[in-house]
């Protein structure tokens, strides 16, 4: 089986501490991996990361741009968009659960890090446009000032707090 494109050989970084290596890649989500939720799924990943050896660790930082597709929460038409995710993560030979990622002898697998970042940053309920009338304009008024918008968000989940950091490229 071919090695995942998301597995990076870090041998050169281990030889020269402080050396940085740029990792740029544009790929669809790995085979068999659904990145996202049942509703909103990642369709393409654009990675622009800097990998750096720091002692026994590898630090990955940079930008992941995720293209996604999902139904508009009002009219249910599919819409697409993209989210930018800035990250800085540490890879260690003995990773701390939920904090750092596994550093194998000569490589790091970026997939678990990407998977987590994408899941935390995809929109839960996209809108095709701010003034989408939806299937039923009387229930989903477009003039928010006249009547409060119906609460169609899912209940608060602290994991989605990172949503406030998302920027959309429209």
Measured distance CA(126)–CA(163) in Å, rounded: 12
- Is 69 a binding residue for Zn ion by CB under 5 A? The answer is no
Classify residue 131 by its DSSP letter: T
Give per-residue burial for 137-157: e unless 16+ CB within 10 Å, then b.
Answer: eeebbeeeeeeeeeeeeeeee
Q: Binding mask 115-134 vs Zn ion (x if CB under 5 A, - otherwise)?
A: -------------x---x--
Binding segment toward Zn ion, per CB under 5 A, in 12-20, 41-49, 69-77, 135-143: 69-77
Tokens of 107: 């490589």
Q: Closer to Zn ion at the Cβ: 8 or 128? A: 128
We find the least distance from the C-beta atom of residue 78 to Zn ion, in angstroms, to be 10
Q: Is there binding between residue 74 and Zn ion (CB under 5 A)?
A: yes
Q: Does 90 bind Zn ion (CB under 5 A)?
A: no
């Amino acid at each position: 089986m071919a090695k995942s494109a998301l597995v990076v050989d870090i041998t050169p970084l281990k030889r020269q501490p402080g050396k940085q290596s740029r990792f740029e890649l544009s790929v669809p989500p790995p085979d068999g991996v659904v990145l996202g939720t049942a509703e909103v799924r990642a369709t393409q990943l654009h990675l622009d990361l800097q990998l750096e050896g720091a002692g026994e660790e590898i630090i990955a930082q940079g930008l992941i741009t995720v293209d996604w597709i999902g139904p508009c929460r009002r009219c249910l038409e599919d819409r697409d968009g993209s989210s930018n995710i800035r990250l800085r993560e540490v890879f260690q030979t003995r990773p701390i659960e939920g904090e750092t990622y596994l550093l194998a002898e000569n490589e790091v697998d970026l997939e678990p890090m990407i998977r987590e970042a994408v899941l935390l940053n995809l929109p839960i309920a996209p809108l095709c446009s701010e003034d989408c009338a939806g299937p039923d304009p009387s229930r989903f008024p477009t003039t928010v000032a006249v009547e409060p918008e119906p609460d169609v968000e899912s209940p608060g989940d602290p994991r989605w707090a990172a949503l406030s950091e998302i920027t959309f490229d429209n």
